[in-house]
Amino acid sequence: MFEPSMKGEAAQAGAGEASGRAHGVYEMLRDDVLALRLVPGERLSERNLERRLGASRTPIREALMRLEAEGLVQRGEAGLCVAPIDLEELLEAFELRIETEALAVRLACARADHPRLDALQARMDGVLADPSPDAWYEIGTDYHIEIAALSGNRFVYRGVRDAVTRIARARWLMASSESGRLAAHREHSEIVRLIRENRPAEAEAAIRTHIGIVRDSLVAAMREEHRGWKARGVQMVMREG
């Protein structure tokens, strides 16, 4: 009498393992796209990805579908490829970020968990001694997503996470100077302090200023250096006159 139940449990366990494998493949492929190990414009062959990731065709297809929904992969006449970096899309993402993160910090002032704020500040302080681009890229991304999570609003969180993802590859292309890293740390720390002290108007003004600085820096870098990036095989869409 227990056999059907045991089969059901085995089936659920198998489905869970398959889902876990699919998510793992998605994470690996997404990391490769965001870190530009798969460059914008690069054609994506399922067979090549099988060899690259050591995975079967089904989880790779699922991962590609998720990345296509996120705008990191696109479908063309020749099949799937890594989406190019699009300046117009970046500017639209920044429009969303400024308004959504302004709301996030206002909500976080009233709702934020102070131990989580302390942990976030400790992570930011921890990378001061690490000049590697990887460390600063990671904390720069995680910072904004964590602030959105502290808002306590799942829609704000998803909006910020999506917008940060759309901008991530352009940020990766920029090698931050030491002064730029210190300025980012200073601005991020000030916003955390204002949230902890429940000062929503000042926190909102600070996050708007910070995101505007990042936007202007990225746009300037793209306009000045896009020819060099294209020469390195990075496909970009500038739509300049």
The residues, any chain, with a CB within 8 Å of residue 110's CB and separated by 6 or more, are: 198, 200
Same domain, 217 and 144: yes
Same domain, 100 and 153: yes
Buried b (16+ CB within 10 A) or exposed e, 109-143: beebeeeebeebbeebeebeeeeeeebbbebbbeb
Q: How far is CA 114 from CA 109, 119, 122, 144, in A?
A: 10, 9, 12, 16
3-state class (DSSP) for residue 123: helix
The pTM of this model reads 0.78
Q: What's the CATH code of the domain at 49? A: 1.10.10.10
- In order along its 241 residues, the chain shows pLDDT tens digits of 334 444 454 444 444 555 677 788 999 999 889 888 898 989 999 999 999 888 888 999 999 999 998 889 999 888 899 999 889 989 999 999 999 999 999 999 999 999 999 999 999 999 988 878 778 888 888 999 999 999 999 999 999 999 998 888 888 776 556 677 888 899 999 999 999 999 999 999 999 999 999 999 888 888 887 778 777 778 888 875 4
Q: Of 83, 107, 142, which one is at a domain's C-terminal end?
A: 83
- Residue 53: give the domain boundaries: 3-83
Same domain, 147 and 211: yes
Same domain, 169 and 108: yes
